[in-house]
Chains A and B, each alone.
Chain A
Amino acid sequence: MKNSNILKDGNSIEFKTGAWRARTPSHSKEKCKNCMMCVPFCPEACIKQEDNILVGIDLDYCKGCGVCSKVCPFGAIEMKDNND
């Protein structure tokens, strides 16, 4: 039936928003204590963890807002200007 319903839930992952970034987070595995604070604070829900081990930040979607870098208690995420 032709209409405006969207039948595939969560299919916005097919739409990459990473190009919005003017700066990019870099996650340091050494400094990271896997405290998980950054994970729920990411507006894009694109910081991945597996069994409380921080896997990484999915740059396909990260818009470079920097929330994770500021919320991290251990300075394990640094924002770098894209054209640095």
Chain B
Amino acid sequence: MSIRERLSGNEAVATAMKQINPDVVAAYPITPSTEIPQYFSNFVANGSVTTEFVPVESEHSAISACIGASAAGSRVMSATSSQGLALMFEMLYIASGLRLPIVLIVANRALSAPINIHNDHSDSMGVRDAGFIQLYCESNQEAYDNTVMAVKIAEKAKLPVMVCYDGFITSHSVENITLMENEEIQKFVGTYKPEEYLLDETRNISMGPLDMQKYYYEHRKDIADGMREAKVIIEEVSEEFAKVTGRKYDLYEKYKLDDAEIGIVVLNSTAGTAKDVVDSLREKNIKAGLLKPRAFRPLPYNELPNELKHLKALAILDKSDSVNGYCGPLFSEITSAMYSSGINVKTVNYIYGLGGFDVKADDILEVYNNLQEIAKTGKVDKTTYYLGLEDGGEK
């Protein structure tokens, strides 16, 4: 049975956390994810969870406390955004390096400087190599569902998981949502049974040693292999989730892509806007399509190129900028995957919406119009555009 509700993204994720009832939550306030520790403190104060809540004095200490709690053998979650995630940077590598299945909710927000509290993906993209599995969510439903799945994925893969959704656009907008029953979630996530943990009463262990060169190199490969193995685990857990809820998640979502001639790749809430544009183009018999990655870490580097190879023109939309004088991270990773798969599609990169700059349907339409031009002429005169800026970016 499922429950019909209307919740914001933060409310939905906080509800998922309540139903999961983790052993420990350590969190620090930062816009726009603050509401999660707020809602959660409420659950703790009113006894609707048995979680121990740690109101830490910084995000660096939030993730450090999570590391300690997870290493001790308990199920642990937290939430943050932007500068908070950036402050955690050092400890994110240590959480994954110690193979700790921490679930970290990230309400995506721009990185300073200048400071900006609105949405873009520079924060989670900024830590894309930290060894966290990263799941990206278009809506509050996806944020809720991915939070539930993240717990199981993390504990199977023995890697921490980041659940990312757009600050304000998703976190603070109320949408219809279908919730699971508490028992369904409790059964789905089960009880956490760590194998190697500090509070194991049968043996004392040491975690976080100094590794010399050889061991370090081997251990780092183990972690990278863990990320490779995580792809199958995400698929398995998603199948189990579909059996319980009927909602099927893959590593990415294709929207009218298979027969499309022009297509875009885009993460999170902008995909919702873009789907409307695709529909309107389809009504005019323009074969537009869209691919929305869900798992960015691990990157489905085999699958994505094959889903895009039939397109005449492709635009990859980045809501963050690599500041490498060239392009955004999604563009560089997907085109490199295409290149290695020997797939060559006329591809351009749109950096867009930084700092919450509005992304309207007309903006997306402008992308597809450009793609129609490229499809027609087969010519790409410029690779990187800044959508919606007068000068269009590249001088």
Contacts and interface: CB of A to CB of B under 8 A. Distances in A.
CB atoms of A and B under 8 A apart anywhere in the complex?
yes
Interface of A: 1-7, 9
A3 B99 CA distance: 7
10 contacts: A1-B195, A1-B196, A2-B219, A3-B222, A4-B97, A4-B211, A6-B206, A6-B207, A6-B209, A7-B203
B204 interface: yes
Contacts of A9: 203-206
Interface in B196-228: 196, 203-209, 211, 215, 219, 222
Contacts of A5: 98, 196, 205-207
B121 interface: no
B interface, how many residues as a size bin? 10 to 19
Contacts of B204: 9
Interface of B: 97-99, 158, 195-196, 203-209, 211, 215, 219, 222
Contacts of B205: 5-7, 9
Contacts of B203: 7, 9
Contacts of A3: 98-99, 158, 196, 219, 222
Nearest to B97: A4
A7 B194 CA distance: 14
A4 to B, nearest CB: 5
B195 A4 contact: no
A1 to B, nearest CB: 6
Nearest to B200: A7
A71 B1 CA distance: 75
B316 to A, nearest CB: 35
Contacts of B209: 4, 6
A4 B216 CA distance: 9
A2 B222 contact: yes
A7 B206 CA distance: 7
Contacts of B222: 2-3
A67 to B, nearest CB: 25
| Most interface-central of A2, A3, A6, A9 (chain B CB within 10 A) | A3
A4 B208 contact: yes
Nearest to A10: B204
B198 to A, nearest CB: 10
A4 B196 contact: no
B301 to A, nearest CB: 23
A7 B203 CA distance: 8
Contacts of B215: 4
A7 B196 contact: yes
- Rank and list the top 4 A-B pairs by shortest CB-CB distance, nearest first: A9-B204, A6-B206, A2-B222, A3-B99
Contacts of A1: 99, 158, 195-196
Given A3-B196, A4-B98, A4-B208, 10 more contacts: A2-B222, A4-B207, A4-B211, A4-B219, A5-B205, A5-B206, A5-B207, A6-B205, A6-B206, A9-B206
A1 B219 CA distance: 11
A4 B211 CA distance: 8
Contacts of A2: 219, 222
A73 to B, nearest CB: 36
Contacts of B211: 4
A3 B196 CA distance: 10
A5 B73 CA distance: 13
Contacts of A4: 97-98, 207-209, 211, 215, 219
Contacts of B99: 1, 3
A2 B98 CA distance: 10
A26 to B, nearest CB: 34
Contacts of B97: 4
A61 to B, nearest CB: 19
Nearest to B100: A3
A40 to B, nearest CB: 22
A4 B195 CA distance: 14
A7 B205 CA distance: 5
